[in-house]
Structure 1
């Protein structure tokens, strides 16, 4: 791996950094930032600014209007965007749309891309990904899928309930995972306004950075035409991995930017604030926390870049992305937690952006697989051991 940025990559980083500083951060105190995320009106205003700056949906292919970024390029841009809670929204690289765009580029038919993907890439619509279910349904264990899809003539009929569905309120369409009559999983596309789809409630959550928040969604006899099936019958879990492995990593990228913002805020405060005759930064207890922040940020960035490089080489990077998810989510969380401690009272109030980052980031250790599940999977792979040929080498 070559960690030296190319001139093009450095230009992209600087363009994104300036855009976030000059065009996005001033909106962080806008009243349209609600407990359930930025309003659609605010989202559209931010989207328009990114479109004018040539930075909208940069991860999408050039054919669809994006910049066709490699995974390493995304690591650069997504970190810079994550420096503001509104940055991923502005660039249209927030979850779940970012992962849905990646999945649909790989799996959707030309007709599905024209109907749903093009408007999504253009920032005109939003989407949601309906997989997680209330107990005893699917969560970390997708084999527990309870939502069903049965054939009825030329249609599929979907029944079930999904929970923690990010962005469901206000989404134009959903990708729904359902269990077929033979027990296999399949994905479907559906307009959210189809009869039988009900948003039962919007959930109050710690975070406030996702447009539409999180919701409980019910599907009662939702009829989906054959042409709206996403991918092959029975390959839903395999298609989900096409989405989830890169999506785990892009979460790490965005939250690295947020952790860096928290650290920068803590550093500025520690240099200026005095206690016991000297700046806080001069006290060993605080300076050690700042040093540990730098170590965790550096480690997280190296992990992200390595995993992104593997993906760019064509490696599926499932094992590597699981390790990255655990290492980065915990390292970046430690950075934010220490920053709150350094800021003291300022860190737990709206006097600082850090309290908002703290609330937003806590769920990162849970979604796209809790740290414990990834550790379990990594441990199972270790227990199975390397193949004999690998031992021989």
Structure 2
């Protein structure tokens, strides 16, 4: 399909695709065949190769070591890296690092960028985004946030309990959301702080066992449960404006949701390619499985839905350049999450025994894609946002007749 991406976007994405085919996917296939996990040293070697090919950190400005692509131009490259179990990691475009880089870029002071953004881009440090809390704290309803930061002299004192802090288990720095004005609505009284993991009072409780993950990469970063007990950070640890944490998080999550969509779209595309290749070579009941009409129609539906998802994401990305595009992003994220889940389930079914084995990447894909309907906003939260907008300021003059008719039938 031609999505009319810019010439620059197409050119970079084609080079990313070549890098995946020549360097990343062969190592992935070897890891699946031998069960020999990809080491962190190998990932660093891939980073050096990506730098030599001008593919490293495509979403980051050149002054900090990236390729300087704008948001819309980088999306096709994210789709290409999504085709591999560790493709995004191989060019430093993986979550949550990619989102944290963007957050530091748009809100960090020059000192914060030099101290944290530059080494983060180069892979010298790792970061975690610490927002979600255990029950009854902030989750799908972020207004329930309970972590606090109170000012004492020239320091902030943070107390709270977080979990699902992505990459938190191995992070050097945490971006922590905390209430800073308890008298204000949480949307107007929350801030983000830069907290080193070695600060007094930071306790990494555990790495939460979870569905999916890198699968074949020997890097334990995971999703951490963290407790903050009287953690003191200086005034300079505030990221962005005081009490502007929710706006900043929304800026981070809006773009992050779309980059996730593209990565999972690439994953779904590859799962379909593997499925179609298998259906053409596997025979049963006197013909190849690709000739079975039921399967052909399901593949046709999957191709159509994936095309719609890709188109929706690109439209949302265009709108994001002009506004917060909250509704467009919500629609794209919710729809793409469900489409990629359905495609992965179809791929497993088409592949039969090969689909549930881990000789192929599809079983890993299946595990990885299911959390996408929960992370970065559950389906229900996005539907709530879309429905609220759909019913806002709605008035249909034709409904007056319905109201009058109902009144005539009122027998009470």
User: What's the counterpart of residue 209 of structure 1?
Assistant: 214
Deviates more, 1:258-267 or 1:71-80: 71-80
1: CA distance, partners of 2:386 / 2:355: 35
- The question of whether the paired residues in 1 share the 8 Å contact of 2:181 and 2:243 is answered with no
1:382 aligns with 2:390: yes
Deviation at 1:30, TM superposition (A): 6.7
Match of residue 278, structure 2, among 266, 269, 278: 269
List aligned pairs for 1:18-97, cutoff 5 A.
18-28=18-28, 40-97=40-97
User: What's the counterpart of residue 303 of structure 1?
Assistant: 312
Q: Tell me the secondary structure at the aligned position of residue 168 of structure 2.
A: coil
- The question of whether the paired residues in 2 share the 8 Å contact of 1:46 and 1:89 is answered with no
Deviates more, 1:42-51 or 1:292-301: 42-51
Unaligned runs of 5+ in 2: 184-188, 397-412
List aligned pairs for 1:41-190, cutoff 5 A.
41-183=41-183, 184-190=189-195
Closer, same or farther in 2 for the Cα pair 1:38/1:231, shift >3 Å? farther
Residues paired across the two proteins, number: 384
2: CA distance, partners of 1:237 / 1:58: 26
Unaligned runs of 5+ in 1: 389-393
2: CA distance, partners of 1:31 / 1:266: 20
1:322 aligns with 2:359: no
Closer, same or farther in 2 for the Cα pair 1:195/1:26, shift >3 Å? farther
Aligned-residue CA RMSD in angstroms?
2.2
Deviates more, 1:209-218 or 1:128-137: 209-218
1:193 aligns with 2:198: yes
User: What's the counterpart of residue 245 of structure 1?
Assistant: 254
Deviation readout 1:56-99 (Å, 9 max, x if unpaired): 11001122222221222122100001110111101111111111
What is the TM-score with the length of structure 1 in the denominator?
0.93
What is the TM-score with the length of structure 2 in the denominator?
0.89
- The question of whether the paired residues in 1 share the 8 Å contact of 2:5 and 2:73 is answered with no
Q: Tell me the secondary structure at the aligned position of residue 328 of structure 1.
A: helix
- The question of whether the paired residues in 1 share the 8 Å contact of 2:8 and 2:73 is answered with no
